[in-house]
Structure 1
Amino acid sequence: MKAHFFERLRTSVEQMIAIETGELNVAEEYIHTVKIPDVKNLRIAQRLKQQEFAQMLGVSLSLVQSWELNRRIPNGPALKLLIMLERQPQLFETLKAL
């Protein structure tokens, strides 16, 4: 690894730690958060078993279980789909039809 890349990485990590410990404040416009959907409540509200929910989303049963136990956090297209389903539950019917 080139020295300047390593130095930038080290500086970024130090800044992250300073932010986490409250030693460094960041302007609100630089803070972006995404609310992670409550996968279990979303599934239960639709009266779906974990396996049915997994098949509907095109993911594995173990992934759904990990989301529900907070061992893993949904990301990428799955996160976007879950957010859409949370905001527009009628989309479940569309997924069931696929």
Structure 2
Amino acid sequence: MSIFNELQTSLEEAISIKHGKAQASRTTRHEVADVKAIRAALHVSQAEFAKAMGTSVDTVKSWETKRRNPTGLAAKVLATIQDNPAYFSELSSH
């Protein structure tokens, strides 16, 4: 099967699921990290945390107040820090 045919089949399946004609074969859910708790456990300011994460203080504030959720690489880095707080020291040294 060509890549085009695979994509076409996948899109047709997605449309069927959206219209309630089919059930999703799997659902993936990710736990959203508690950024405020992570930062508090590390004893760092929002500014220090933002710098280490390569983001703005406003973004950290948005994560902490749950106005926005971290996505992509930020979510993965936060999950890593949550599992292994020592990783933050390594991250902040760069």
Coarse TM-score class (shorter-chain normalised): 0.7 to 0.9
TM-score (norm 2): 0.75
TM-score (norm 1): 0.72
Please give the alpha-carbon distance, in whole angstroms, between the structure 1 residues aligned to 2:87 and 2:15.
44
Q: Which letter maps to 1:67?
A: W
Aligned residue-pair number: 82
Tell me how large the CA RMSD over aligned residues is: 2.3
Structure 1 residue 48 corresponds to structure 2 residue 44: yes
Structure 1 residue 71 corresponds to structure 2 residue 71: no
1:87: which partner in 2?
83
1:3: which partner in 2?
none
Deviation at 1:97, TM superposition (A): 1.5
Deviation at 1:11, TM superposition (A): 4.7
Identify unmatched segments of 5+ residues in structure 2: 1-11
Deviation at 1:92, TM superposition (A): 1.2
Q: Which runs of 4+ in 1 moved over 6 A?
A: none
Ranked by relative contact order (alpha carbons within 8 Å, sequence separation 6 or more), the top structure is 2
Please give the alpha-carbon distance, in whole angstroms, between the structure 1 residues aligned to 2:85 and 2:17.
39
Aligned equivalent of 2:19, options 14, 31, 44:
14
Between the aligned residues of both structures, percent identity stands at 32
Identify unmatched segments of 5+ residues in structure 1: 1-7, 16-23
